[in-house]
């Protein structure tokens, strides 16, 4: 097989490899987009109904204590409880962001493998161009697992 045929095989393999990586990236992008919009919609709906519940509960709680001397304690207690809940939720979000896998991690892993393979191909190609000066052909055959007849 000539140099031109080898180059065309290598080029077609590189194009196929690039196509596979682009397809993987687009699939992961679509998955992340769907996940983001689903979570955003659910979060918005949950936030809206929880806000309504908190407002109604707050009015009920303050109305219950309004005629007593503890009305300011009731308002302060509600404020403290809401602050604790808010900070707890912020902490939970931060922990989830730290522990979830990186988006597009599969694509990055595949690209890293490609770089390793291409650099090993480059090294073996460079050794082949140096010729017999860099070592005996018999040693090169044993290094890469080739058989000589």
CA quadruple 89, 91, 97, 100: dihedral sign = negative
Q: Which of 43-52, 56-65, 68-77, 129-138 has the lowest mean pLDDT?
A: 129-138
Predicted confidence (pLDDT) at residue 97 exceeds the cutoff of 90: no
Q: Given this model, what pLDDT does residue 104 score?
A: 74
- The answer as to whether 20 is a domain residue is yes
- The answer as to whether 129 is a domain residue is no
- The answer as to whether 138 is a domain residue is no
> What average pLDDT does the structure give for the chain?
80
- The answer as to whether 145 is a domain residue is no
Q: Given this model, what pLDDT does residue 96 score?
A: 87
Which H or E element spans position 58? helix 3-65
Q: For residues 57 and 78, give the distance between their C-alpha atoms in angstroms, rounded to a whole number.
A: 10
Q: For residues 47 and 40, give the distance between their C-alpha atoms in angstroms, rounded to a whole number.
A: 10
Q: Which residues, 6+ apart, have CB-to-CB distance to 103 below 8 Å?
A: 28, 32
| pLDDT top residue among 147 and 60 | 60
Which domain range does residue 112 map to? 3-124
- The answer as to whether 7 is a domain residue is yes
- The answer as to whether 134 is a domain residue is no
Number of domains in the chain: 1
- The answer as to whether 117 is a domain residue is yes
Q: Given this model, what pLDDT does residue 11 score?
A: 79
Q: For residues 122 and 130, give the distance between their C-alpha atoms in angstroms, rounded to a whole number.
A: 12
Tell me the whole-structure pTM to 2 decimals: 0.45
Q: Given this model, what pLDDT does residue 148 score?
A: 47
Mean pLDDT, range 16-29, rounded to an integer: 85
Mean pLDDT, range 46-52, rounded to an integer: 90
- The answer as to whether 139 is a domain residue is no
Q: Are 21 and 106 in contact (CB under 8 A)?
A: no
């Amino acid at each position: 097989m000539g140099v031109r045929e080898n180059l065309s095989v290598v080029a077609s393999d590189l194009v196929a490899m690039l196509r596979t990586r682009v397809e993987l990236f687009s699939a992961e992008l679509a998955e992340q987009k769907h996940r983001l919009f689903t979570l955003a919609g659910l979060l918005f709906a949950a936030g809206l109904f929880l806000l309504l519940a908190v407002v109604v509960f707050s009015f009920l709680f303050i109305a219950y204590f309004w005629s007593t001397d503890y009305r300011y304690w009731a308002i302060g207690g509600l404020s403290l409880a809401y602050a604790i809940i808010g900070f707890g939720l912020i902490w939970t979000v931060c922990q989830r962001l730290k522990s979830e896998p990186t988006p597009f991690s599969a694509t990055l892993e595949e690209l890293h493998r490609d770089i390793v393979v291409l650099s090993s191909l480059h090294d073996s190609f460079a050794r082949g161009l140096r010729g017999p000066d860099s070592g005996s052909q018999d040693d090169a055959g044993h290094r890469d697992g080739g058989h000589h007849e």
